[in-house]
Structure formats: structure tokens, C-alpha cells
Structure 1
Amino acid sequence: MRKRLIQIFGFLISSLGWLFVLCTMAMDYWRITQLGGQGGSFIIKVAWYWSNLWKDCFTDSTAVTNCRDFPVLWSVTYYVQGTRGLLMCGLALGFFGVTLCFVGMECTYIGGGETIKDKLLFSGATSLVTDLESYGSAPFQFSVTSAFSRYDLGPPIFLGLVGAFLIMFGAVLYAVTVCRRKMSHFSTVGKYL
């Protein structure tokens, strides 16, 4: 019973993390900078420049926003291309990892016997951990390049990093349930030798 609860909790945590990372692809304000807002005038003129993976935008103090979509792939800077690619690959592979973990859970009736389910669960958990490289390095790559310029880091970068840590925690919970069973199996075999 405890193994099932740990696996269900791991599934919910890793699925929530995958959803967080999925949401970061569509969110605005990956990097933000503020222009103006200083001087002795009683009218404060401020403008914000912000961008995400798909467009650059400029919002003035009257809340009028002008956006320019990135026209073609090769006209985008290298870190935006890399971030897009890492996130898309990580999301696709993470979907398969979550699916393998769902099939391998003890409470599902698909996937075969206990040993096959344990193998599916362990392979799904290792897939999620290896996909963590894509999840974690994509916002990090974008944030490092933004840090060298005069940009502030936006909320999607932090949401993606939180999602990556949730995925890692869920994968560790999966692996603990499988490893605990394997260790108890080895200890009972050792008694009889």
C-alpha cells in the first residue's frame, strides 16, 4: 500500500513539473528591462522591453504594446534557438517518460507482471532524470545570456526551474520504490546462500 502511495505521489509531482515546463514555452516576459523612469519631471515616462522564445515586444507608459515575431529560425540568436530546441526535445522525451512511469506503476493493470512493471517504472524514472538536462539547462542558458546584458530574469525561467526540480523529485520517488524492492529481494536471496 505504501509503495502505491509513493508511486502515485511521484506521478502527480512529475506530471505537475512537466506541466510547469510546458507552460514556460508559451509564457511571456522571459527577459525584461525597463527604460526611463528617471528625471525631475512630474510625468514619469517609462517603457518596458520584454521578450520570450517567439517574439520581442516593447510596451510604453500608455500600455501600448508593439511586438515583432521572430521571422525565421536562422534569424534568431543562438541562445533562443538552443533554448527552444532543448525544451522541445525535453518535453517530447519527458512525455514518454511519464507514460512509461504510468504504465509501470503498481496500481495500473496494464504493463504485465511485477518484474516488467518495475523495469518500465525504472526506465521511465531514468528517462525523466536524463530529460532533466534539457529542462534545467534551457532556462539556465537563456538566463546566463540575459545576465550579461541589462535584462532582468522573468517568471517563466523560475517556473521552468521549479518544474525541473519537481520532475527530479518525482523520478527519485519512482526509483526509490523500485530499488527498495530490489534490495529486499537481494537480502532474502543472501540469507539462503
Structure 2
Amino acid sequence: MDAVVEALAFFFGFLAWVMVWVALPYRYWRVSTVDGNVITTSTIYENLWMSCATDSTGVHKCREFPSLLALGYIQACRALMITSIVLGTFGLMATLVGMQCSKIGGENYIMKGRIAGAGGVFFILQGLCTMIAVSWYAFNITQEFFDPLYPGIKYEIGEGLYIGWSSATMALCGGSCLLFSCGLCNPKEKKSHLQNVRSYSNQPQSSHMVQTASTTSNVPFSQYGLNAYV
């Protein structure tokens, strides 16, 4: 596995994991404005946790959603985003152990490659969870916005969704890089590595040392010249 590809995948995964943490509490997941005759009188924005309003004077007020059971898809998006953070944490740990430049997992590069591949799977699952949560939230925004019979407030897509989409894309790229680099490993290198390990473990080192010592002891002293001691 190429060390540069591993480092790049780890960077993408770490950046995606950080962006999930940024997007989860971000307030502007959807935004709606109420215009007056001249200026904007108020701005209403929501995320997965609360709804806020800001007037033209800069005073804002937020309230949390009262009921968890009444949230519907928002509760599911919460669970997906939290699952994404957990999967990203596992992916970072597995990739850090499986990298060739890391000494945490020893020098068994075949096992380290498998661990790095597992980290790639975790990154891909993280990206899928984030993508599903953000896209599901955006789908409901657009469905309500273009529905002429919807009686409530019509929102538009906020910055938090773009952060989530960027995080999902980076996580998918990082996981794909790890899996692709694991698939490019040369089978001959793996086979030679296994043969070297097995031959070294099966070599009768003790008998070889005893035979060498006995052969040396049987050589008469007269065969050694004076030049051997100079």
C-alpha cells in the first residue's frame, strides 16, 4: 500500500470527521426571511436541535423543539449524524493503526493493510450516513418550498447542509482511496513476505549454531597462520 495514498486518505477522513462536528450543531440548516416594505424584518433559521429568529435590530431568540416524537425525519437525521461521528472515530483509529508509517500495529504489513482497509470501510459508512441525513433534510425543504398547499413557513437550504455534503464527499473519497490502495497490493509481495516469515520461523537456528561450533573446534591449531592474529 502506498504511504502517500494512506496519508491523503487519513487527511480526508480527519477533515470529514471535523466537518461533521461543525455541521451537527450549526444553526443554519434551513433559512427563511420575512420581508417588509423596505428592509428585512426578521430571519428564521433552524437546525436539528432548535429554531431561532432574528429581527432587523439584531435581537435573536431560540427555542428547542418541544417533543422528540413529533420531529419525524429530524430525529432520524440526528441519529444518522451521530452515527457518522462514531463511524468516523473508528475509521480514524483503524487508519492510524494500519498506516505503514505508524509503528502502533507492529511490522506485520499484511495485517496493517487489512486494518487500513477496515478504516476505509468505516469512512465510507460515515460518508453514507452523512449524505443520507443531509440529503433527506434538503429533500423535505424543497418539497415544502414547492408545495403550493403547504400552510407553514417555507425555508431555503442553509449553509449547514453544504458543510454536510462536503464532509460526506471527503469521507467517501478517503475511504475509497484506502480500499483502492489495498486492492493494488501486489500478491507476489504478500507471498514473498509470508515465505520469508515462515522460513525464518522454521529455520533450526540452534542446531546450526552447534554444528558451526563443533566444526570450528575440530580444526587443528597448526592450520591457523600468524597472519590471522595481525
TM-score range, shorter chain: 0.7 to 0.9
CA distance in 1, matches of 2:3, 2:166: 25
Of 176, 183, 199, 1:179 maps to 183
Q: Match of 1:81?
A: 75
Q: Quote the offset at 1:45 in angstroms.
A: 4.8
Q: Which residue of 1 aligns with 2:12?
A: 13
Specify every segment of 5 or more residues in structure 1 that has no aligned partner in the other structure, as ranges.
Answer: none
CA-CA distance at 1:187 after TM superposition: 9.5
What is aligned with 2:34?
A: 35
User: When the two structures are superposed, what TM-score results if normalisation uses the length of structure 1?
Assistant: 0.87
Shift of 1:132: 2.1
1:74 is displaced (CA, Å) by: 2.4
Look up the match of 2:84: 90
Shift of the 9–187 alpha-carbon distance from structure 1 to 2, 3 Å rule, reads closer
Paired position in structure 1 for 2:155: 151
Percent identity for Structure 1 against Structure 2: 25
Residue 83 of structure 2 aligns to a residue in which SS?
A: helix
Q: Equivalents in 2 of 1:109, 1:35: separation in Å?
A: 58
CA distance in 1, matches of 2:159, 2:49: 16
AA partner of residue 13 (structure 1): F
Question: Which residue number in structure 2 is paired with residue 54 of structure 1?
Answer: 49
Pairwise CA distance, 1:71 = 3.4
1:132 is matched with which residue: 124, 127, 131? 127
Please provide the CA RMSD for this pair: 1.9
User: Which one-letter code corresponds to 2:63 in the other structure?
Assistant: R
The aligned residue for residue 104 of structure 2 is 110
Aligned residue number for residue 24 of structure 2: 25
Cα offsets for 1:117-140 (capped at 9, x unmatched)? 011011111121123221111111
- Asked if structure 2 preserves the Cα contact closer than 8 Å seen for 1:18 and 1:164, the reply is no
* Structure of larger gyration radius: 2
**TM-score, normalised relative to structure 2:** 0.73
The CA distance in 2 between the partners of 1:100 and 1:139, in whole Å, is 26
Match of 2:212 in 1: none
Provide Cα deviations, 1:7-43, integer angstroms capped at 9, x if missing partner. 1111011110111111101111110001123x3xxx5
Which stretch has the larger CA shift, 152-161 or 64-73? Answer: 64-73
SS of aligned partner of 2:62: strand
Q: Give the whole-Å Cα distance in 1 for the aligned partners of 2:5 and 2:59.
A: 49
Instruction: Supply the distance in 2 between the matched residues of 1:167 and 1:71 (Cα, whole angstroms).
Output: 33
Q: Secondary structure of the residue that 2:184 maps to in structure 1? A: helix
| CA distance in structure 1 between the partners assigned to 2:20 and 2:94 by the alignment | 19
8 Å CA contact 1:13–1:166 kept in 2: the answer is: yes
Q: 1:71 aligns with which of 56, 63, 66?
A: 66
Size of the aligned set, in residue pairs, is 181
